[in-house]
Amino acid sequence: MTDISAAQARRIALAAQGFGKPPTDAATGIRQLGSLVERLGLLQLDSVNVYERSHYLPVFARLGQYDKADLDRLTFGRKSRYTEYWAHEAAIIPMAHRPLFQWRMDARRRHQMSDDTGWPRTNGAMLDWLRAELAATGPIAASQIEHDANRGSGSWWGWSDVKYGLEYLFGWGEVVSAGRTRFERTYALAEQRVPAEILATTVAEPDAVRQLMALGARAHGIGTLADIADYYRIKQGPARLAAADLIDSGELVPVTVEGWKQPGYLHRDARLPRRVDAAALLSPFDPVVWARPRAERMFDFHYRIEIYTPAHKRVFGYYSLPVLVDDRIVGRIDLKNDRQNRVLRVQSAWREAAAPAGIEQRIAPLVEAARVWQGLDAVEVVDRGDLALELAGAMGLPLLPGAMADAGAAPAGEPTTTSAGGEPTTGAVAGGDPDEALPAV
């Protein structure tokens, strides 16, 4: 069994995720965007927009400046080769991968239809009406469907029966995303948007799970069984069986990794660079950090997003972004895009205990690049966090009073994360079971 050092494991994982490639002078266009999405296998969706929506951030972290409209055309366009489904969480995935999730769609239907008192069983007429309405009107947003039941309940979710019905049909695969406008999903019947050959493709559950495990292993490069299974939310039993098959075929190679208590697995195509030259601001929903136990094991980085924490109890900030420099996570920065005043505000800046001295010199250009990408006029740095003073100095900026931190963040108690359809969800921050994506009704 091969022995892998902790540093080698970090470099393998980051290289698999598309970090460390030498920069080029070529403009980032549709081809480069498509290659990256194929490499990652998915882009997780989330509606929090205090800095930028999460699915745009992994692309910026790896490719630098690009036009978000290009990614929209690639992923949400009328003839897009991508679709949405519950992959890790709500995510953009290649259309070609959709058959790999049919077993999950079928399982959701069985589970949600098994309760005689549940919403789908007691609202069959609404589901039939929605099927007929979509067949007649083609792709349409939930807010545009005219029906007496299309009114929010006034609850925390505020969902109408129309929206509930569309989300159940989406989970079962009968309805798909036909793009988004200001993040609101447009719905269509699957046959209206998914190519017939993909709809006709069937993959048995064990084969689909094996392929998803292989994709997850390739995307992670190296990981424990739990790491690889988590990429597409595969349960441990099926994941273990799939991993055994992949080991037998040579696609997974068992390894021991320095400091890991669990066995490791290396994808056969994983590359071990001599070094990783990288600097990036990571989304909380980036595959590098989305599994908190993996982030702690791999980078010694304890990370909890504080969206739901009342402002006076937050430690690092409302939407703190991990800062990757080379093969280490060296800090976290809470960014706010003050669109009205055209300012990118660093609401707090913190260094990790093992971060080297002078790390602010690597971080300052990241903040400036983010300002340019967002089309803003200025950067402000708030006096909060043990890196704020140094970062402000590196950027030649004064420190603003710490009281400005968290200004404009969502008030406590307001929904801040959303489902694939742009509606609030529970438990989406740290992950969850896709089968429980809808609330109990």
Tens digit of each residue's pLDDT (9 = 90 or more) over 350-385: 999 999 999 999 999 999 999 999 999 999 999 999
pTM across the whole model:
0.89
Question: Which pLDDT belongs to residue 147?
Answer: 65
Q: Name the percent of the chain lying above pLDDT 90.
A: 78
d(CA 347, CA 338): 11
With CA atoms as reference, report the closest residue to 286 among 101, 88, 38: 88
Question: Which pLDDT belongs to residue 21?
Answer: 79
Q: What distances in angstroms separate CA 374 from CA 50, 106, 246, 313, 357, one per listed residue?
A: 12, 41, 42, 29, 29
d(CA 158, CA 154): 5
Question: Which pLDDT belongs to residue 405?
Answer: 62
d(CA 427, CA 432): 6
Residues in the chain: 441
Sign of the Cα torsion 15, 17, 20, 24 reads positive
With CA atoms as reference, report the closest residue to 11 among 273, 234, 360: 273
Q: Taking the chain, what is the end-to-end CA distance rounded to the nearest angstrom? A: 50
If residue 379 lies in a helix (H) or strand (E), which one and from where to where? strand 378-382
User: 285 forms bridges with which residues in the sheet?
Assistant: none
What letter does residue 233 receive in the DSSP assignment? T
With CA atoms as reference, report the closest residue to 319 among 43, 48, 18, 35: 48
Structure tokens that stand for 421 in this block: 């359809």
Enumerate long-range contacts of 194-202, CB under 8 Å, 24 or more apart: 194/83, 194/95, 194/98, 195/95, 198/95, 198/96, 198/98, 198/99, 201/99, 202/99, 202/102
Tell me the per-residue pLDDT of 34-80, one tens digit each, with 9 for 90 and over: 999 999 999 999 989 999 999 999 999 999 999 999 999 999 998 89
Residues of the chain with pLDDT under 50: 153-158, 408-441
